[in-house]
């Protein structure tokens, strides 16, 4: 089955064509970074308008790059949530209209299931069950994946997501938006151990996270520094080390507790090289497999949506004629695909 995937949940317009036999045929991602940069973060209204502007040309370009005609598509998958309501509606409305005109099914899929399965775009041998650490701008959670659509959340952030903490710290350090990659780049220049920040919630049992206190620690540390320009890189390093250490401690705990043989780390923050190296080291030490998506599939993209759509549509799943987007949508509400009559 040949499925078009559309991602419009936040500030990336992602489009891809996934084919059950040949894999990914083509993909394009358009980042809205330039449109939001002046505001220091994502402006929902601008995001929706930019998706409207970019979606049609990007679909035309991607389908042409896949070497197919529109009428050779057999299904369309779009991100139905979680995300910004207006941005989601652009993808949903477009997907539904195009599918209707082509007489093919459209299916709304879960953005975080896209992240969860993104490594499978390249690693066909990735088997369930596995433990996943999902780390994005809106989510930080441990998920036990038993089968497609069978997920248990073992722990999650009680406040800020890890990506959100990166973005807020970037603002405090005047690095602008998008924060994660900029903090990472600056941290690489910083000296370790110059500032000491806490490893939140590691001194008590459980698999939940909290990053808002860490962010406040960075703020109070900044308030006590005279020459902030000279200290920025060391501070970025201290923050990055604190986040990475926290994930290593919690992943060790989760792997030992669950006994699961492999760990998947996905979502935007999984693009972070220091995190990748540290968790790969943990995997080697514990004798567990640690899997990351390719860098271009770590952050938001259409390929992961096309892939999930393919898994579910080819499993017979169909949506009804109406559609809704789900700005908030717990991953645990998903179920395995069920063929409808």
Residue 198 · residue 238 · CB < 8 Å: no
112 versus 201: smaller Cβ distance to ligand KG4: 112
Residues between 132 and 161 with contacts to Zn ion, criterion CB under 5 A: 136
Residues between 14 and 53 with contacts to Zn ion, criterion CB under 5 A: none
Q: Can you read off the two tokens belonging to residue 67?
A: 């070497």
Residue count (the chain): 341
99 versus 271: smaller Cβ distance to ligand KG4: 271
- Among candidates 80, 74, 110, which has minimal Cα distance to 93? 80
Give strand ranges (E) for 49-115: 75-81, 106-110
161 versus 207: smaller Cβ distance to ligand KG4: 161
82 binds, among ligand KG4, Zn ion, none (CB under 5 to 8 A by kind): none
Q: How far is the CB of 1 from ligand KG4 (least distance, A)?
A: 26
48 versus 136: smaller Cβ distance to Zn ion: 136
Neighbour count for residue 295 (Cβ, 10 Å): 11
Q: How far is the CB of 139 from Zn ion (least distance, A)?
A: 8
Q: How far is the CB of 136 from Zn ion (least distance, A)?
A: 4
104 versus 112: smaller Cβ distance to ligand KG4: 112
d(C-alpha 9, C-alpha 42), whole Å: 11
Calculate Rg over the CA atoms of the chain.
Answer: 20
Strand partners, 303: none
d(C-alpha 201, C-alpha 198), whole Å: 9
133 binds, among Zn ion, ligand KG4, none (CB under 5 to 8 A by kind): none
d(C-alpha 81, C-alpha 88), whole Å: 7
271 binds, among ligand KG4, Zn ion, none (CB under 5 to 8 A by kind): ligand KG4
Where do contacts with ligand KG4 occur on this chain (CB under 6 A)? 10, 136-138, 163-164, 166-167, 178-181, 184, 267-269, 271-272, 299-300
Residue 337 · residue 315 · CB < 8 Å: yes
Q: How far is the CB of 188 from ligand KG4 (least distance, A)?
A: 11
41 binds, among ligand KG4, Zn ion, none (CB under 5 to 8 A by kind): none
CA 47 to chain centre: 17
Residue 118 · residue 5 · CB < 8 Å: no
Task: With CB under 5 A as the rule, give the number of residues binding Zn ion.
Answer: 2
160 versus 300: smaller Cβ distance to Zn ion: 300
d(C-alpha 314, C-alpha 320), whole Å: 16
5 binds, among Zn ion, ligand KG4, none (CB under 5 to 8 A by kind): none
164 versus 241: smaller Cβ distance to ligand KG4: 164
Q: How far is the CB of 18 from ligand KG4 (least distance, A)?
A: 19
93 binds, among Zn ion, ligand KG4, none (CB under 5 to 8 A by kind): none
Q: How far is the CB of 264 from Zn ion (least distance, A)?
A: 14
Read out DSSP for 257-295?
HH--SEEEEESGGGG-HHHHHHHHHHHHHHT-EEE---H
- Among candidates 292, 310, 311, which has minimal Cα distance to 119? 292
Q: How far is the CB of 10 from Zn ion (least distance, A)?
A: 7
x-or-dash string of contact with Zn ion, 284-313, rule CB under 5 A: ----------------x-------------
Q: How far is the CB of 159 from Zn ion (least distance, A)?
A: 19
Site for Zn ion, rule CB under 5 A: 136, 300
């Amino acid at each position: 089955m040949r499925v078009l995937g559309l991602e419009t949940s936040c500030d990336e317009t992602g489009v891809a064509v996934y084919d059950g036999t040949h894999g990914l045929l083509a993909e394009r991602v358009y980042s809205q970074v330039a449109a939001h940069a002046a505001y220091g973060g994502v402006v929902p209204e601008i995001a929706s308008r930019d998706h409207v502007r970019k979606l049609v040309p990007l679909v035309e370009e991607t389908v042409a790059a896949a070497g197919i005609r529109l009428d050779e598509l057999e299904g369309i998958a779009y991100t139905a949530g979680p995300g910004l309501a207006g941005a989601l509606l652009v993808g949903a409305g477009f997907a539904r209209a195009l599918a209707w005109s082509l007489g093919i099914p459209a299916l709304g899929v879960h953005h975080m299931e896209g992240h969860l399965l993104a490594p499978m775009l390249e690693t066909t041998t990735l088997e369930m069950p596995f433990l996943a650490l999902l780390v994005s701008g809106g989510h930080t959670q441990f998920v036990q994946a038993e089968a497609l659509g069978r997920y248990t959340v073992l722990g999650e952030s009680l406040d800020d997501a890890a990506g959100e903490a990166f973005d807020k710290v970037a603002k405090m350090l005047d690095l602008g938006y998008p924060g994660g990659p900029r903090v990472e780049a600056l941290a690489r220049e910083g000296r370790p151990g110059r500032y000491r920040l806490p490893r939140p919630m590691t001194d008590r049992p459980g698999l939940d996270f909290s990053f808002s206190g860490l962010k406040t620690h960075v703020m109070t540390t900044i308030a006590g520094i005279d020459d902030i320009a000279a200290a920025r890189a060391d501070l970025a390093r201290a923050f990055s080390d604190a986040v990475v250490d926290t994930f290593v401690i919690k992943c060790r705990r989760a792997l030992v507790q669950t006994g699961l043989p492999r760990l998947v780390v996905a979502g935007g923050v999984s693009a972070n090289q220091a995190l990748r190296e540290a968790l790969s080291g943990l995997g080697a030490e514990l004798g567990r497999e640690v899997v990351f998506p390719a860098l271009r599939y770590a952050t938001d993209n259409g390929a992961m949506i096309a892939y999930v759509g393919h898994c579910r549509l080819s499993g017979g799943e169909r949506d009804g004629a109406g559609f809704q987007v789900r700005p908030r949508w717990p991953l645990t509400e998903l179920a395995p695909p069920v063929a409808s009559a």
